[in-house]
Homo-oligomer: A and B are copies of this chain.
Amino acid sequence: MISVVLVGTGNVAQNLFQAFDTAADVEVIYVLGRNKEHLTFAKESVPVSTDFNSIPSAEIYILAVSDDAIAVVADTFKMVEGLVVHTSGGTSLKTLDNLKRTGVFYPLQTFTKDKIVSFKDLPLCLEATNEKDLALLQKLGASLSNTVRVINSEQRKALHIAAVFVNNFTNYMYTIGEDICVEHAVDFNLLHPLIKETAAKLNHLSPKDAQTGPAKRGDQHTINNHLNGLINKQQRDIYMLLSTAIKSNYGTKL
């Protein structure tokens, strides 16, 4: 049984807490957070505390806190003997350098409040400063997910940047789509099946092969027609930049 102290009260902490609850061979023995009210998600099942000066002994400490807080929170774990890991895609392992045993336990997913995500198919990207701790993290990861990978800090940074494109920026494309629909009194829900199929295509096609649309076809008539239809300058700038990029990647000049 791996004993875990979970630190944090945000979406990642709450999702991890739920996932470990049903995992074999792992027990969350304690949850630490700065804000007492935010600890309610855990207090029915395990001891919770806001006191960072009194930390129980555990095999693994998971710092599921915001990127900005990792260094400060880590400082309070200088004296522990267990393995201390953060869960951030964008933070180097070096941020934990003043601790004894360190690692990274990065779940590559977007978490939302009040929506518990299944960890079974969710990639867990691991890093540790030594082989023994990496093996321990792999055991922890395997208790939750079928996709556990060792990824170094540079690769994790690349994954995190790629995640900004496929998640943050993609979601912003949805936002623009919704704004355009609202402007023209069209139901945005009509676009849901298209959005889902666009994602589902990746099961059997690389995105390069799945690309369609006026920019890919070099259809300048439709591009101009669309640009004229966009009254928002920011939307026009984005439409132009992305169309130019797609054309340059498919060998047609604008």
Which residues of A pack against B, CB within 8 Å?
A: 67-68, 90, 108-110, 112, 115, 117, 121-123, 125, 147, 149, 151, 154-155, 157-178, 180-181, 183-188, 190-208, 210-216, 219, 221-222, 225-226, 229-230, 234, 237-239, 241-242, 245-246, 248-249
Contact = CB atoms under 8 A, between A and B. Distances in A.
B178 A206 contact: yes
Copies assembled: 2
A165 B180 contact: yes
A226 B161 contact: yes
Contacts of A226: 90, 160-161, 164
B163 A191 contact: yes
Contacts of A205: 112
Contacts of A219: 67-68
A180 B221 CA distance: 31
A190 B147 contact: yes
Contacts of A192: 202-203
Among A219, A245, A246: residue with most chain B CB under 10 A? A245
Given A190-B108, A213-B164, A222-B90, A173 B175 contact: no
B158 A246 contact: no
